[in-house]
Amino acid sequence: MGGVVATKNKKLDDDLKFLQRAVGAILSPDECYRAIQGSKTLAIRWEAMSRSALKVAGYLSSHGKIKKVLYPGLDSHPTHKIAKRQLKNGFGAVVSFEINPEYRSSLRDFVKAAQRNKVIAYGESLASPETLLAYPATMSHGSLTEQERENLGVSPTFFRLSVGLESAEDVIHELELGLKRLG
């Protein structure tokens, strides 16, 4: 959200000042104001998005066209016990899932249908108030080789969904529309 860098090292201080002037690496007053305002509703948004994400993850994990779902709120997640102990008031808004590989040729149809009613947007971001569907193979991990992506668990049928403030039922409905287009 924002922060501070402090050092007693004169060389590092000079380098940081140069970078600040060169790239403008400071928040504007408006950005600071928005960060402060956003922090006031963070707990409410976290809980709402977490509740919806858990419902969406449950839906996806029971769907026959889905190979795997990664969400720390699911008992099946490898670190669920740790997440349950460490996270309070929810498990976050990001649900990752992998569609069965036999549907790879119709992934574009899935994405197109899932965003048809504008409940889900196709984009690369996390923690937005709107639900975003991302395709890491060409977005966040697009610069990696296919082998590097596979080593990280980013298969050609892997998606990341950042659940926003829409109702879980609406998001599930849109995902269902997309999943019906597979095959």
pLDDT by position in tens, the chain (length 183): 577 888 999 999 999 888 887 877 678 889 889 888 988 999 999 999 999 999 999 999 999 999 999 999 999 999 999 999 999 899 999 999 999 999 999 999 999 999 999 999 999 877 678 999 999 998 889 888 899 998 999 999 999 999 999 999 999 999 999 999 998
The answer to whether 152 and 141 have CB atoms below 8 angstroms apart is yes
Q: How far apart are CA 176 and CA 183, in angstroms?
A: 13
Task: Give the dihedral of Cα atoms 58, 60, 63, 67; nearest 10 deg.
Answer: -120
Half-sphere exposure of 49 (CA within 13 A, CB side): 24
**Element at 162 (helix H, strand E):** strand 158-162
Q: Measured at the alpha carbon of residue 121, what is the angle toward residues 118 and 122, in degrees to the nearest 5?
A: 140
What backbone torsions phi and psi does residue 96 show, to the nearest 5 degrees?
-105, 145
CATH ID of 50-180, from 3.40.50.1950, 1.20.58.1610, 3.90.1150.10, 3.65.10.10: 3.90.1150.10
The answer to whether 158 and 137 have CB atoms below 8 angstroms apart is yes
Spatial strand order of the sheet with 131-134 comes to 66-70, 94-99, 158-162, 131-134, 120-122
Cα distances (angstroms) measured from residue 20 to each of 8, 13, 24: 17, 10, 5
Residue 6 CB neighbour total at 10 angstroms:
7
